Structure 1
Amino acid sequence: MKFIRWFLGKVILTLNFIFTPRGIKRDPATQQEIDQKASSLALYQFEACPFCVKVRRAMKRQSVKFDLRDAKNDPTHREELRTNGGAVKVPCLRIEKDGETTWMYESSDIVNYLEQEFA
């Protein structure tokens, strides 16, 4: 079973690399505003998780960059996710806004959030 997961993970990452989406082209001032807005976000993820790949592809399409945190291999990020988010479930988007932190878990919800905030 471990081999199957490893193999499928490599297939998912290879296909993602081959078929990487193109990002939105913005003028530098607008992109800087987007980058500033995105600086309060962090994505807790596993590299080969298909739902995490879905969210990273949405980030690429919207030309949004924020902190990617490996909750599988980094015990600090894993514990942060468990303690503050409530569960080790990925993908999880941590949103800090107006001094409040929100943890968003569903990939479709995260993609919708990115499209609403950064399109």
Structure 2
Amino acid sequence: MRVVIRLFFRLIRLILTPFMLLAEWLTTPKAISRSAAQQAEIDNACKQLALYQFKACPFCIKVRKEMARLGLNIEKRDAQHNAQYRAELAAQGGKISVPCLRITTGSADATEVQWLYESADIIHYLQQRFGAN
């Protein structure tokens, strides 16, 4: 019985995934307008960030939409299909839960890594750090 239930939910995910991705594509907002110098500065700051995500996770979609709205070029790491990223998330982040934003701070000598879980917390962080004032 357990196998049947598991297969049922996999089938549901298989059917819904294309619709969720299409809805994301259709409803993703345009990025806020910045000067070229401001955008270059933000792009440089985004190099210290990485989003661990699953492609069809609704909470990940929510974070990606906010990233698009803010015009952020943050590296997206697929923790569902890439074993290396999944292992990093488990070993360094402490749990396999997405979305998770990896924030690297500090210099080359002393880097500090913070793992931020929960879509609402990630969105709040991105709005505070990169939002238009």
Alignment match, 2:24: 16
Residues 45-87 of structure 1: per-residue CA shift (max 9 Å, x gap):
0000000000000000000011100000000000000000001
1:57 paired with 2:57, answer no
Distance in 2 (CA, whole Å) between partners of 1:66 and 1:15 is 21
Q: Which consecutive segments of 4 or more residues in structure 1 shift more than 2 A?
A: none
SS of the residue corresponding to residue 14 of structure 1 reads helix
Query: Structure 1: which 5+ runs fail to align?
Result: none
Distance in 1 (CA, whole Å) between partners of 2:19 and 2:56 is 9
State the identity %.
45
- 1:1-119 correspondence runs (5 A): 1-98=9-106, 99-119=111-131
Query: Structure 2: which 5+ runs fail to align?
Result: 1-8
**Bigger-Rg structure (1/2):** 2
Shift of 1:11: 1.4
Distance in 2 (CA, whole Å) between partners of 1:49 and 1:15 is 13
Larger RCO: 1 or 2 (CA < 8 Å, sep 6+)? 1
Distance in 2 (CA, whole Å) between partners of 1:18 and 1:87 is 32
What is the CA RMSD across the aligned residues, in angstroms?
0.7
